[in-house]
Each structure stands twice: as C-alpha cells, then as structure tokens.
Amino acid sequence: MTDDLVFADEVDAVDIGRRPPWRILVVDDDADVHSTTTFALANVIMQGRELAFLHAYSAAEAFALLGRESDIAVILLDVVMERADAGLQLVRRIRDELGLHDVRIILRTGQPGYAPEMEAIRGYDINDYRTKSELTRTKLYTAVAAAIRSYEQLCALEANRVGMERIVAACAQLMALHGVRDVAYGILAQAAGLVGQPVDGVLCTREFSDGTGTGAFGPLCVVAACGDSRDLDGCELGAQYDDPHVTRLALAAERTIAQRGCTTDDGMLTLFFPGKAGRDFVACMPLERPISDVETRLLKVFCGMVAVSLDNCELVTDLNKSAFHDPLTGLPNRTRMIELIDATLAAGADNDAVLALVDIDHFAETNDALGHRFGDLLLAAVARRLCTRLAPAPAPGLAPTLHIGRIGGDIFCVLGSAELVQPAALQTLFLDAFHIDGQDVQVSSTLGLVCLREHDGSGADALKDGDIALKRAKLQQRAGHCYFSRSMGVEIRERVRMMHALRSGFQRGELFLDYQPQIDLATNRAIGAEALLRWRQQDGKLVPPDRFIPIAEYSGLIVEIGEWVLREACTELLRLRAAGHTAFTMSVNVSQVQLRHPHFLDMLRRALDDTGAPPDFIELEITESMAMEEPAALVEKLAHVKRTGVSIAIDDFGTGFSSLSHLQRLQVDRLKIDRTFVTEITGSARGSSIAQMVVQLGRNLGLSVIAEGVEDERQAQILRELGCPLAQGYLYSRPLSPENLLAWLAGESVTRAA
C-alpha cells in the first residue's frame, strides 16, 4: 500500500488534451539557445503530456517570472549571463528565497570547465550539469524526460503527504463525533473535501436480515444524505424509485457492495467500508470531475481508516446504550436518571418537578417462589404499564415531560411535574393484576418521593433522599408513600457519621465492657454478671448504648464487635475463676444480626476453644422479639448453640407476644423480667401481676427467672415474696469495670450501691 502511494505509475495512453502540459522554463541570454531548445523538443510527449515553454533572458527576469508563475517542472538554466555566476546564484535564490525545492534544474554552460561540475552539483542543489555543445536533441530529450519524471514523482510524494495529512485530520474529526448518524454525515463531508467538491450523496448500510452475517440480504438503508440526495435520509434505497438519480445511487451501491471495493464508474464515486457481523457501509457520491490516481489511492486509505472508525462508533453506540439503559426493560438506568435529574435541577428553582422511587412490595418473595424468569417478566410488565398508562405522549418535536427509569432491582424511578407524579396515581396503576406467564399476579408498591424544588444537591443526592424516604415509607406501612424531609436527611447523615466514628473507635480500642452483678435474692450473694458494652470517645464522652448499638447492627459491624465482646467476657470469666469465683456465670448479649450470621456457631466454638472458658458458665441473652421471629430457624440454631454447653436466656421477657409452646421448643434456660414491670411492681397491680406470671411460668417450665432494674429494697422484697430467685440492678451495684468487679466481689457479702 505504501509503494502505491509514493510512486505514480507511468501512463502511456491517455487523452492528452485533458491533461495540462509540462511547463519548461528556458533561462539564457542567448536568443538562439531559446529557439534551438524549443525546436529540439517540439511536439514531444513526455509521461503522456505535451511540453509548454516559458522564456527568460536574464537571472533577474527568471527570478521575477518564477515568483508569479507556478507548476514549472524543469528549468534549463545558463550559468554565465549578466554575471559570470548569475546562473549559480539564481539556483540559490530559487531554493532559498522562493522555496521551490521540487522544480528540477538542469544547468547548461557554454564555457566548459568554468564551474567544476561536481562542486556545482554538490553545492547548488542542481539536478544535472551539461555543456551546451553536448546537448544534442536526443541527449536534451533524455535529460528533460528524466527531470520531468523526477518532478512528477516529487509532486506525487507531496500530494500523498498532503493527502495523508488531510486523511489523518479528517479521521480525527470523525472520531470526535458521537453516534453512527453523525459519523456518517462526517464521512460524506470529509470524502467530498478530499476530492475538492461540494458535499453530495448518501451513505447507506445493509445488514443481513437475520443479523448473524449468514442469512438473506436485507434492504439498503440510508444513514445519511446530503446535497441533492438529502430527501433520502432515513429511507430504504432501492431501484423501485421512479427517480433516475435514486436508481443510479442504488445500482452504484449494490455494485460496490458486491465488488467489496471502491469504484469511480459512470461518474459516481463509491466508497466501501467493510463492517463486522454482516453490517457493511457504502458511500455514493456523484463526481463533478475525474479524480486522479493519487486521489483514488488516498480514498482507499481513507476507507480503511473510516471502516475502523465506524466499527468503533457502533461499539461506542452499543456501549453507550448499555451504560445508560437497563437491558431488561430498555428504560433509562440509574446513571441516565441522574443525568436527567441534574438537567431538571439546572432548569431552575421555579420548576415543580417531583422524583418518585417506586418499590415493588415483596418482590424478593415472588422471585424466590416463582423463579427469576417470572420475576423478570413481572418487572418488564411493570415497566410497560408505567410507560403506557402514566407517561403522556409528547407533542411532535417536544421532549417528553415525564421520564421513567429502572434504577436497580425492583425499584423504578419516575421524574416529572407534580401534576403527573402523584402517589395516588402511581399506586392506582397496581390495582389491576399483572398477567404473567399464563397467571394473574397482584402486587403493590411503596413510594419514596422528593420535591426537587426543595432539593439543593445533585441528581445523585436526590436519589439518595428518595431512598431515605422509601425506607421510611416501608417502616411505616407497605403500599404507602412518604415524602423526603430535611429532618430525615439530618438523621441519616448523623447515622452515617456515627457509623464511621464507631468503626474508627472500635479499631482504636475505645469500646470496653462493664459488668453488672446478678444476685441470689435468698442469700444476697453474687452468682454472675452481665457483660455490658460501653463506648467512651477520645474526648472522654460516653455514647449511650441505645445510640450506638443500633448503628452497629445496621452497619453489620456488630458481628465483629460481638465476637470481641464474647472473647473479652470469656477472658474476664477466667480471671474471676482464678480469683476463686468458680461458680460465677457470665451473661453476654447476642443481637439478631449476630445470631443470623452463617458463621455464628463457628465463632462461638472458636471463642470457647481459644479462651478455654467453661461453656457451662457462659450464658447468651437474646430478646423476646428475636425469639418470636422465624421460630423454626431459631429453634434449630439454638439447638446447635445448646450443644456447645452454653445456656440461653430470653431478655426483656413480657414485652412481646411469646407463644408458650414455642417457648418450650426453644429450650431456653432463663427468663429475664423486663425492668418496666419491676419499676411498676410497687405501684401497679398490672406490674406485679406480670412479674408474678413470669415467675410462675418459669417455675412451671423449669426455668430460672431473674428480674432486671431492681433499684430499691421494696422492689426486692416483693420479688422475694413472688418467688423470684434472682435480681440485678442499681440496688446492688451499677455496672463495674473488671478491676472494680473483683474488688466488689472480694467482700464477704453484697454491699448496696451508693
């Protein structure tokens, strides 16, 4: 390909009248030399072209003539004219001042030996050096023919260089365009520029009808059309048109695709761009003039480079579609919706746009029960209903007033004016069942909404706010809705801040355990302690457990913290046993998140093995609400826990709605009377009755019972009278550090807390 671009082929048989002559400048102060030269080369054809002569009789005249004339191929230059070195100095001025480096210069002298031949050629950039006496007609023809061939090759090189620069620039401009359509228009424009004519013609493509590259041919489709052909834009190109121009274009395109190469037949330039998977492109452009061999070769190079650009453009188009659209529903995805929200926000604060997140209730259960294929069909059906029933058709030429997207999972996004995005209207769409795979399915939706007029963040922030409102709506009531408020934002930001602070604090060792003794009411002696998690930040402030423990559970950090708590409590139990408290039980709280973790049992066994703590003196506390959730799974999990040797207590008992039969199946060991009923025990028959009921229940089921939050002697006395065996609370001791717990236990008897 490179050789084709550099070396122009000789053409021996051409229409001479259609090609301009070679221009020869004769520079000599002797008029006879001019006439002799013209006579010797009269009617000579060189490289398929005639010769035309220009004449100058001095170096000064030649310099002036060269300054205003162009396309001079050869200069026959006398050495000695007005000065002895006039010819040599003119050569230097031609090259240096006029910048004419392609013109071939043959130096002629009538005084042989005046200027040494080798030095003249080497020092003055001349192409041949001859004495006038030796330049017979044959030798003159040979010298001029060689010079013209050299000039033609230099011109071809320069034309190729300029052409390649234009091709590179054209392709660079094409690569800056986006989308096949824009690139197609750019190809027509750049191709017309390469051959120096106005933009006119079409660029079309034809895919295989089955899209595989192996099936039947599909129709020619016009991707871009310009000039006299502009009305064909977007049409199918075929010979069925009555217009001769269209028929000519169609036949030229068919011929080019069949030949899979560029052609210039019948005054039509056609460029072939091979594509992938059967998708080829062809440009058809009527020519205003014949194009040269150099232009033909340059256009072939252009086609090769553009074919890559088209493939890349199609790839980018596909990637762009994948990047901004959901593959299942075809709706805009999260990224695209963020762009649309940003554009809406940029429109100004006077818009009344509302953003709504639409969550399909219990979709995960439907997906698990009926399969992922069914779930995908349901999501596609929801998308169609949102689009067909909610979004009004835009007026011709206007952008849609409502945007619908799928931002992930079973959550759809609706963006539009407050008039169009109304909770009642959205939820009405779900009143009719969806007909999926031969069956009717009834689903509802929960909505989280954001009024963008009140929003001062980005599109991504608006989606986050919508998600906050959606979560709040789910907590309140399924199939309901909730609008985002600034207070929700403050709350969630505080939660995130607390989460990061807790993670950092845990890594820095800011968490610690206190231990609250548990007392035998009959003997007033300590029989165990409950390990209580505490957090003291770097500034010395204590964060209440009811603030940071829910954050730890929400973030999942409770799993890591919970393992640390268990190990610390086991280690403390061993210290207590080493100090002589061998009948002491350590009670540790376990959250629902911990218990649900798939490796909880492994963690428990590992902690017991690593620390060497006796499992018979370890008690795990779970809440009553945990005990009632997913009872079958919990029964199995607790059965495995019991096999390790540790015991189980139900905390806050009496605040939930436990099933007695379920309680028996859980195989728990102890019930803890909630502090609410202990507080009411002295002034409320209800409090006393519930406490008595729990004590009686424990006795009937063979379970130990302990009362929490005992703060005065009157409460302790009533609990004794009710038959409650154990208690803990401020009456006996506040939570103690490990050192203070050992000191507290060192006394002969329990000392009341101050």
Confidence of residue 590 (pLDDT cuts 50, 70, 90): very high
pLDDT of residue 714: 92
Confidence of residue 670 (pLDDT cuts 50, 70, 90): very high
Q: DSSP assignment, residue 332?
A: B
Using alpha carbons only, give the angle 451, 455, 456 rounded to the nearest 5 degrees: 165
Residue 352 lies in a domain: yes
Are 84 and 38 within one domain?
yes
Weakest-pLDDT range from 67-71, 181-185, 391-395: 391-395
User: What is the rounded CA–CA span in Å between residue 744 and residue 71?
Assistant: 113
Last residue of a domain, one of 484, 510, 532: 484
Are 525 and 671 within one domain?
yes
Q: What is the mean pLDDT of residues 330-352?
A: 85
Asked whether residue 631 carries a pLDDT value surpassing 50, the answer given is yes
Residue 49 falls in which region: left (phi positive, over 0), alpha (psi -120 to 50) or beta = beta
Range of the domain at 451: 334-484
Residue 614 lies in a domain: yes
CATH number for the domain that contains residue 311: 3.30.450.40
C-alpha pair distances (Å), 393 with each of 208, 386, 699: 33, 13, 72
Count H helices and E strands in the chain, helices first.
Answer: 26, 26
Beta strands per DSSP E along 12-97: 22-27, 51-56, 72-78
Share of the chain above pLDDT 70, in %: 81
Residue with tokens 């063979």: 702
Regarding predicted confidence, which is higher, 33 or 209?
33
* Nearest one of 409, 345, 332, 424 to 375, comparing CA atoms: 409
What value does the mean pLDDT of the chain take? 82
| Token pair for 134 | 């030796």
Confidence of residue 164 (pLDDT cuts 50, 70, 90): low
Are 78 and 214 within one domain?
no
pLDDT of residue 317: 57
pLDDT of residue 171: 56
The helix (run of H) or strand (run of E) holding residue 325 is none
User: What is the rounded CA–CA span in Å between residue 749 and residue 742?
Assistant: 13
Residue 752 lies in a domain: no
The 10s digit of each residue's pLDDT in 273-289 is 776 655 678 888 888 88
Q: What is the mean pLDDT of residues 424-451?
A: 92
Highest mean pLDDT among 123-137, 150-164, 170-184: 123-137
**Residues 434 and 423: beta-carbon distance below 8 Å:** no
User: What is the rounded CA–CA span in Å between residue 387 and residue 384?
Assistant: 5
Residue 179 falls in which region: left (phi positive, over 0), alpha (psi -120 to 50) or beta = left
pLDDT of residue 667: 82
Are 279 and 348 within one domain?
no
Q: What is the mean pLDDT of residues 690-699?
A: 88
User: What is the rounded CA–CA span in Å between residue 613 and residue 713?
Assistant: 34
* Paired residues of 129 in beta bridges: 107
pLDDT of residue 32: 87
Are 194 and 259 within one domain?
yes
User: What is the rounded CA–CA span in Å between residue 586 and residue 577?
Assistant: 11
Q: CA quadruple 567, 573, 575, 577: dihedral positive or negative?
A: negative
Q: What is the mean pLDDT of residues 478-489?
A: 83
The helix (run of H) or strand (run of E) holding residue 618 is strand 618-623
User: What is the rounded CA–CA span in Å between residue 654 and residue 656?
Assistant: 6
Sequence-distant (6+) residues with CB within 8 A of 329 are 379, 380, 383, 406
Last residue of a domain, one of 319, 342, 366: 319
Are 371 and 404 within one domain?
yes
C-alpha pair distances (Å), 131 with each of 76, 116, 724: 11, 12, 136
Residue 191 lies in a domain: yes
Asked whether residue 665 carries a pLDDT value surpassing 90, the answer given is no
Are 480 and 502 within one domain?
no
pLDDT of residue 359: 94
Confidence of residue 244 (pLDDT cuts 50, 70, 90): confident
Q: What is the mean pLDDT of residues 62-90?
A: 88
Asked whether residue 101 carries a pLDDT value surpassing 60, the answer given is yes
Weakest-pLDDT range from 91-105, 201-215, 318-332, 609-623: 201-215
| Token pair for 259 | 């030949």
User: What is the rounded CA–CA span in Å between residue 581 and residue 527?
Assistant: 9
Q: What is the mean pLDDT of residues 536-552?
A: 93
pLDDT of residue 242: 67
Residue 468 lies in a domain: yes
CATH number for the domain that contains residue 54: 3.40.50.2300
Confidence of residue 311 (pLDDT cuts 50, 70, 90): low
Are 307 and 338 within one domain?
no
